[in-house]
Amino acid sequence: MMLFSDMDFDHARGVFYLYCRSKGLAERTLQTYFSSIDELRAFLAKSDSGPRLPGAHELRGFVAHLLDQGLARTTISIRMRAIRSFCNFLAREGIVPSSPMAGVAVPKVPSRYPEVLTGAAAKKPAQSAPLPGR
């Protein structure tokens, strides 16, 4: 019998995958979750100790790595939400004592408001639209 404290990254990933499947998550959601988790694993594998369950320090390094790659903040936010789900699962199941994402800041995504058309710009599309019955 494997103790949770002895669980490695790959085994934890497999347990999380079964959990996600049992919840009936959409295939696209699974793809997003596990491509993000696999990217984290590859990042962790480059360290001296190889891929292991991440701590807050490693997760902050991963966020910095994603920023260094020039990824958009929205992309980083999506990937880190998937990893947050993984980390929260690990904590909920007792695999780790608490979520390693606690206290890890994810870059804010700037909110964008739609452009408001001025009077002349608003009239232009309306004038070029075909009239019904013509």
Flag whether pLDDT at 6 surpasses 80: no
Residue 118 counted as domain residue: no
Tens of pLDDT along 7-29?
A: 899 999 999 999 999 999 999 99
3-state SS assignment for residue 100: coil
**Number of structural domains, the chain?**
1
- The DSSP code sequence of 16-66 is HHHHHHHTT--HHHHHHHHHHHHHHHHHHHTSTT-S----HHHHHHHHHHH
Q: Average of pLDDT values for 91-109?
A: 89
* pLDDT tens, residue by residue, 30-87: 999 999 999 999 999 987 666 788 999 999 999 999 999 999 999 999 999 999 999 9
Choose between 82 and 109: higher pLDDT: 82
Closest CA to 41 of 76, 78, 9: 9
Question: Is 44 a domain residue?
Answer: yes
Instruction: Report the pLDDT value the prediction gives residue 49, as an integer from 0 to 100.
Output: 67
Report if residue 79 sits inside a domain.
yes
Please report which confidence band the pLDDT of residue 134 belongs to, taking 50, 70 and 90 as the band edges: low
What's 36's domain CATH number? 1.10.150
What domain range is 48 assigned to?
7-109
Does residue 86 form part of some domain? Answer: yes
Q: How far is the C-alpha of 132 from the C-alpha of 134, rounded, in Å?
A: 6
Query: 53 with 96: CB under 8 angstroms?
Result: yes
Classify residue 125: in a domain, yes or no.
Answer: no
Q: What is the pLDDT of residue 127?
A: 65
Amino acid found at 52: R
Q: Under a CB-based contact definition with an 8 Å cutoff, are residues 73 and 107 in contact? A: yes
- 72 assigned to some structural domain: yes
